Amino acid sequence: MAKDLPERVTLLGIRHHGPGSARMVEAALERTEPEIVLIEGPPEGDALLGHVPDLTPPVALLLHDEAEPASAAFWPFAAFSPEWRAMVWANARGVPVRFFDLAAAASLAEEPSGARKASLDPLGTLAEAAGFDDPERWWEDVVEHHTDPADLAEAVAEAMTALREEFADEVDDRTLRREAAMRQNLRQALKDTDGPVAVVCGAWHVPALRTLPPASTDAAMLKGLPKKKVSGTWVPWSHGKLATASGYGAGIDSPGWYAHLWECAPRGDTVARWFARACTVLRAEDLPASTASAVEAVRLADTLAALRGRPSPGLSEVMEAAKAVLCNGDQVPLDLIHDRLVVGERLGEVGADVPTSPLAADLDRLTRRLRLPLNATPKQIRLDLRKDTDRERSKLLRRLEVLDVPWGTPDTTRTLGTFAEAWQLHWKPEFAVALATAARHGTTVAAAADQVLTGRAADATRVVDAAETLSRSVGCEIPTAVTAARTALDRCAAAATDALELLAALPDLATTVRYGSVRGTDPELLRVALHGLLARGAVGLPLACRGVDDDTAERAIAAVDGADDAVRLAADDDHRDTWRQALRSLVAMPDAHGLPTGRATRLLWESGALDSDAVAARLHRAVSLAAGATAFVAGFLRGSAALLTADPRLFGVVDDWLSGLTTADFEAALPLLRRAVAEFSPAERRMLGDRVKGSTRGATATAADWDEALATRLATHVRSLLAEAAP
């Protein structure tokens, strides 16, 4: 049999994060002086309530499953949250406070994702029915002039009862279970004290708490719920994260405005102060905003409120007035006011005595174990990846990088081989913020990095992105992320239509394959991915070089170079053949751009797949097509000074071609040749010059028809060429 709640219980139905509700709660607590305060929230958080004086809101209560830290949830509170006010009030007076919602152990089990579901905003619904767009304004309008908080609480309870009947379908099993738990905890509180009890909970739950059914009914509902060990902490929160825009289900649109309402209410200068702050925001961006305009804006906002029959201007009135008066009807400065003031970027603080977030605790543990203290001054370190500690350190730095905590920057200027890495370490205080943000990804560094990488892999649309995620995953040594990135790579490669894009992803991947064994990832797995990309890219390469402009040709030559390095570094024999075959068909393709074709010819020649005679024939053939010749030669020569000096036949071929050019053709060819030669180091250029000067020695071996006059002419050309190209 259900019985009514005893008189000594005050039910305070609130709107979460509502400053109006917060005021109501404060007044009601002052008046009723309860001996126990019950607040909607998980009872596991009770242990953390002692830390309230050390906190600066906005902060969030973070609870997570000890066995499976990734299963976690946040309960955020701002300074103007009624729950927060109740905690502060009780703490100041030494009144015991308890969270009395369903245990987090049970709610975490229901929602492994850790996010709270968006639920019906009951006060919002009432406000809408009354024709208000902002529930907080409605609350202010309806509630402000109520003097007796108990009366008000009664009115709220009645309205909610009606609403609960209306939306009976919206009440799911979970809500019913939560309310059963609330009633059980309330019974316990009634047993513990004979004095007044105050209950602060969402207005929606008030009707369910007004009568107490037999305890056995509630106990039956709560039977068999999972029991887990849950631990938690306070983490700094921000106004931006309170806003609905960041995807937090039970969030509010305008935390900055609510904070402003809360702070200004005792002073009674809400609107004037708001516009003064808006003017400051605009002036900081060098936009005109005079005090006179602020005065006019206040007048317009007041008039609009009067016109709409409201006791005082609300957010919509002040924003409309700001747009018409301060922003000249322009949306851009208004957006600025919205971001800075309506949402606001306030960050909470958590005192040093409060246990840190599990992620921070994990990092703390790792840095101590790896003897890698957080350093405020930059420091260089060298890691030998064959040593376990160093490998763990590298892993940690890479994982933090993924979490936007760039504590270490890899030094890529020096190549130290497969087994060594150089890092620049510098810990900055703002990383604490990034770390707190990353806390939502997971409760350990590994889990958080895993979630970020898996997410990135799922979002990747381009081969390059997927390959980058893959190499990062391998660097971080997270097998699940590696698998996800592999899948993403396959997906992107299948969808990619540009062979050059596919090939461009190869060098990164090849390095990854090479590091794979050190990194504890099976290199074969990655090699398969590399081969897949290579096969697709090789098929498309010749066509991708056909009939393209010079810019694309530059991309193509870079892709061919990179892919060739990658093939030599990491591909097996079969795929090396596939690649050679692709280069051959590129060389054979008649209308391909000269730049990649020339480079392909060189690569084939270097690898021994083409002998020097064939190259000579190929060069002559290219030269006979006047237009493509320079591009071909440029592609052929780029970065090959040593070979040019060493192979007399190659030298002879180039020599013949150069000296055979007419003056006009030579001048036309000069820019491209210079670009090819400019890449040679001074030493190489000197070597090549020597070779030209002393050409009789090498050239006689192959060139029977030696012509002294021709040689002099060529030598002059090359000398002027080299002199001009020299820095």
**Minimum CB distance to other proteins, residue 297 (Å):** 9
CA distance 99 to 48: 11
CB distance 304 to 313 below 8 Å:
yes
Q: How many CA atoms lie within 13 A of 691 on its CB side?
A: 24
**Minimum CB distance to other proteins, residue 646 (Å):** 58
**Minimum CB distance to other proteins, residue 325 (Å):** 5
Binding residues vs other proteins (CB under 8 A): 288, 290, 292-293, 296, 299-300, 303-304, 306-308, 316, 320-321, 323-325, 327-330
Q: Which is nearer to other proteins, 297 or 493 (CB)?
A: 297
At residue 402's C-alpha, the angle toward residues 397 and 406, to 5°, is 55
Q: Which is nearer to other proteins, 329 or 429 (CB)?
A: 329
**Helix, strand or coil, per DSSP, at residue 236:** strand
Q: Which is nearer to other proteins, 306 or 701 (CB)?
A: 306
CA distance 510 to 563: 9
**Minimum CB distance to other proteins, residue 214 (Å):** 52
**Minimum CB distance to other proteins, residue 73 (Å):** 38
Q: Which is nearer to other proteins, 301 or 492 (CB)?
A: 301
CA distances from 192 to 11, 98, 188, 195 (A): 18, 12, 6, 9
Q: Which is nearer to other proteins, 308 or 568 (CB)?
A: 308
Q: What single-letter amino acid sits at 447?
A: A
Number of continuous H segments (helices) and E segments (strands) in the chain: 35, 14
**Minimum CB distance to other proteins, residue 301 (Å):** 9
Q: What single-letter amino acid sits at 266?
A: P
**Minimum CB distance to other proteins, residue 328 (Å):** 5
Where helices occur in 322-405 by DSSP H, the ranges are 331-337, 358-369, 388-402
**Minimum CB distance to other proteins, residue 307 (Å):** 5
Q: Specify which residues 275 forms β-bridges with.
A: none
Q: Specify which residues 230 forms β-bridges with.
A: 65
CA distance 582 to 382: 40
CA distance 476 to 474: 5
**Minimum CB distance to other proteins, residue 140 (Å):** 19
**Minimum CB distance to other proteins, residue 333 (Å):** 12
Count of Cβ atoms closer than 10 Å to residue 90 Cβ = 22
Q: Which is nearer to other proteins, 156 or 321 (CB)?
A: 321
CA distances from 230 to 63, 72, 77, 226, 718 (A): 7, 9, 20, 12, 78
Burial class (CB in 10 A: 0-12, 13-18, 19+), 720: exposed
What distance, in Å, lies between the first and last C-alpha atoms of the chain? Answer: 98
| Strands 9-14, 36-39: pairing kind | unpaired
**Minimum CB distance to other proteins, residue 271 (Å):** 14
CB neighbour list of residue 178: distance below 8 Å, 6 or more residues apart: 101, 102, 107, 205
Count of Cβ atoms closer than 10 Å to residue 550 Cβ = 12
Q: Which is nearer to other proteins, 127 or 321 (CB)?
A: 321
**Minimum CB distance to other proteins, residue 15 (Å):** 24
Q: Which is nearer to other proteins, 301 or 502 (CB)?
A: 301
CB distance 595 to 555 below 8 Å:
no
Q: Which residue has the tokens 């760039």?
A: 406
Residue from 134, 138, 169, 173 nearest 156 by CA: 138
**Minimum CB distance to other proteins, residue 129 (Å):** 18
CB distance 77 to 234 below 8 Å:
no
Q: Which is nearer to other proteins, 300 or 449 (CB)?
A: 300
**Helix, strand or coil, per DSSP, at residue 72:** strand
Q: Which is nearer to other proteins, 288 or 671 (CB)?
A: 288
CB distance 458 to 450 below 8 Å:
no
Helices 388-402 and 463-476: angle between axes, nearest 10 degrees:
140
Q: Which is nearer to other proteins, 67 or 292 (CB)?
A: 292
Q: Which is nearer to other proteins, 320 or 411 (CB)?
A: 320
CB distance 559 to 503 below 8 Å:
yes
Q: Which is nearer to other proteins, 321 or 467 (CB)?
A: 321
**Minimum CB distance to other proteins, residue 320 (Å):** 5
**Minimum CB distance to other proteins, residue 300 (Å):** 6
Q: Which is nearer to other proteins, 301 or 383 (CB)?
A: 301
Q: What single-letter amino acid sits at 440?
A: R
Phi (first) and psi of residue 598, to 5 degrees = -60, -40
Write out the two tokens for 419.
């087994």
DSSP summary character for residue 575: H
Q: Which is nearer to other proteins, 290 or 418 (CB)?
A: 290
Q: Specify which residues 212 forms β-bridges with.
A: 3
Q: CA dihedral defined by 266, 272, 275, 279, rounded to 10 degrees?
A: -110
Q: Which is nearer to other proteins, 264 or 324 (CB)?
A: 324
**Minimum CB distance to other proteins, residue 621 (Å):** 46
